[in-house]
């Protein structure tokens, strides 16, 4: 397993790797995994790689560096925007430098002229910064929004990344909860952090050497992958879907989306993000609307044996939830997760060329202590959907806790790479 880290890296590589470092997304994997798998399966500059759960664009960016075409799909509109902005590296760095300077001057003027305190921030934003930084951020945000140039997204991303550099609440991932994080000992200034971010990004654009290739970054749904790419066109699918571990991806970037005024409440995020993601968290479960999900009809049609095992786990979870005070809907979450993954598998089968791999980085889980071997089930479902072989490489043992469970279970969990061949 130590070898796996050496070979494939971890998301931490993205904190220092050019362009990958433009936005910290701990859900991501390393660009080194993409390079390793592209080499292992002999991808060339004529190949097409797809990632149906693109996140902030690791797969596409690594492909761009290798000159391999890519198609990436991400359902979260803000996360998709980050990926798209990172992929757009066709900038004149002189212009970027000049514009950064102008922006800072304009923001300084706005701050000086501000005869009033910047009001109207959502509570979360207000709690994360002191008043001086709130004013600075308001001025920077205004200056960027007033910028009419095609480089606006570039600077928006620089300021977006500067938020967690600046916050006095500590850079808490995945969910920022100011009350739960110790204050930073050293105060950081929003203007300084934005300036540093701009400098890093300009340097990365300057140094990025790419081999000409084509990249399509789609704000869409992995469960509809075949509607974005023709049948039998793809040479490799490499992806990391949400794990069955109750992480609410819709909530991970709440600070950033509130800051830009994209959403302003839980209900807003539910309508515009949460409801568009595949099932992976109990916060997505609507019990009254999901009565039929429990039947897992697609899973049943693909592999009745997996269906039987899953049904058993789902009914145990249904009984357990009634005995627990939290009454978490792990039963419907699990059923919905595999129905959604079954859809993704059938779509993947349709777009891949025969003989080509579908590679998934996955974690298993044990809601209420009921172990669900996700890697094995996904592999078997893929065989049922027409793939010819599957293998599982365990890359990491994970902490044996279920985050939302007060009574921690002792089931050992793992993270694996599942490879199935079309």
Ligand X SMILES: C[S@@+](CC[C@H](N)C(=O)[O-])C[C@H]1O[C@@H](n2cnc3c(N)ncnc32)[C@H](O)[C@@H]1O
Asked if residue 415 binds ligand X (CB under 6 A), the reply is no
Please state the closest distance from residue 128 (CB atom) to ligand X, in A: 22
- Per CB under 6 A, which region of 208-216, 218-226, 264-272, 327-335 contacts ligand X? 218-226
Please state the closest distance from residue 58 (CB atom) to ligand X, in A: 3
- One of 35, 204, 221, 235 touching ligand X (CB under 6 A): 221
User: How many C-beta neighbours within 10 Å does residue 330 have?
Assistant: 31
Q: Which residue has the tokens 């596409």?
A: 60
Q: Is 313 exposed, middle or buried (0-12, 13-18, 19+ CB in 10 A)?
A: buried
Asked if residue 8 binds ligand X (CB under 6 A), the reply is no
Complex with ligand X: residue 118 or 347, whichever CB lies closer: 347
Asked if residue 306 binds ligand X (CB under 6 A), the reply is no
- The answer to whether 341 and 241 have CB atoms below 8 angstroms apart is yes
- Per CB under 6 A, which region of 22-30, 194-202, 228-236, 317-325 contacts ligand X? 22-30
- The answer to whether 161 and 22 have CB atoms below 8 angstroms apart is yes
Please state the closest distance from residue 102 (CB atom) to ligand X, in A: 32
The two three-digit tokens of residue 312, written as one number = 């058993």
Asked if residue 385 binds ligand X (CB under 6 A), the reply is no
Residue 220's Cβ-side half-sphere holds a number of Cα atoms within 13 Å equal to 17
Q: CA-based angle 95:24:64, to the nearest 5?
A: 60
Residue 416's DSSP bridge partners are: 362, 394
Asked if residue 25 binds ligand X (CB under 6 A), the reply is yes
For residue 137, report the phi and psi dihedrals to the nearest 5 degrees: -65, -40
Asked if residue 223 binds ligand X (CB under 6 A), the reply is yes
Could you say which DSSP state residue 325 is in? Answer: S
Asked if residue 247 binds ligand X (CB under 6 A), the reply is no
**Helix 152-166 with 77-87: angle, nearest 10 deg:** 120
Asked if residue 154 binds ligand X (CB under 6 A), the reply is no
Asked if residue 85 binds ligand X (CB under 6 A), the reply is no
- One of 128, 217, 222, 296 touching ligand X (CB under 6 A): 222
- One of 29, 263, 337, 402 touching ligand X (CB under 6 A): 29
Q: Which residues bind ligand X (CB under 6 A)?
A: 25, 27-29, 52-53, 55-56, 58, 73-76, 79, 221-223, 240-242, 249, 277-278
């Amino acid at each position: 397993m130590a070898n796996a880290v050496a070979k494939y890296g971890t998301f931490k590589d993205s904190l220092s790797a050019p362009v990958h470092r433009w936005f910290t997304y701990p859900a991501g994997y390393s660009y080194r995994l993409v390079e390793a798998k592209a080499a292992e399966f002999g991808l060339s500059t004529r190949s097409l790689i797809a990632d149906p759960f693109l996140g902030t664009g690791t797969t596409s960016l690594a492909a761009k560096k290798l000159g391999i075409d890519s198609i990436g799909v991400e359902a979260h509109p803000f996360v998709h925007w980050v990926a798209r902005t990172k992929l757009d590296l066709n900038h004149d760095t002189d212009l970027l430098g000049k514009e950064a300077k102008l922006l800072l001057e304009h923001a300084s003027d706005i701050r000086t002229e501000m005869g009033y305190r910047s009001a109207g921030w959502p509570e979360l934003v207000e709690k994360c910064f002191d008043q001086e930084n709130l004013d600075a951020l308001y001025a920077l945000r205004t200056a960027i929004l007033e910028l009419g140039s095609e480089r606006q997204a570039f600077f928006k991303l620089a300021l977006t990344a500067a938020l967690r550099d600046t916050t006095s609440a500590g850079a808490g991932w995945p969910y920022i909860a100011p009350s739960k994080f110790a204050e930073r000992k050293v105060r950081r200034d929003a203007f300084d952090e934005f300036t540093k971010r701009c400098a890093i990004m300009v340097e990365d654009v300057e140094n990025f050497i790419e081999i000409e290739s084509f990249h399509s970054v789609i704000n869409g749904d992995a469960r509809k992958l075949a509607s974005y790419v023709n049948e039998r066109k793809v040479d490799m699918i490499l992806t990391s879907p949400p794990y069955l571990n109750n992480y609410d991806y819709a909530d991970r970037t709440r600070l950033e989306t509130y800051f830009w005024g994209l959403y302003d409440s839980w209900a807003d995020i539910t309508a515009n993000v949460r409801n568009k993601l595949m099932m992976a968290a109990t916060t997505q479960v609507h019990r009254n609307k999901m009565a039929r999900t429990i039947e897992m009809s697609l899973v049943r049609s693909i592999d009745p044996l997996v269906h039987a095992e899953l049904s058993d786990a789902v009914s145990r979870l249904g009984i357990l939830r009634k005995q627990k005070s939290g009454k978490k809907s792990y039963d419907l979450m699990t059923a919905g997760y595999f129905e959604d993954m079954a859809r993704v598998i059938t779509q993947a089968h349709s777009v891949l060329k025969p003989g080509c791999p579908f590679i998934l980085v996955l974690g298993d889980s044990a809601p209420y202590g009921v172990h669900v071997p996700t890697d094995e089930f996904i592999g078997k479902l893929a065989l049922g959907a027409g793939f010819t072989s599957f293998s599982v490489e365990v890359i990491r043992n994970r902490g044996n806790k279920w985050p939302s469970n007060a009574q921690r279970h002792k089931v050992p969990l793992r993270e694996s790479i599942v490879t199935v061949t079309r």
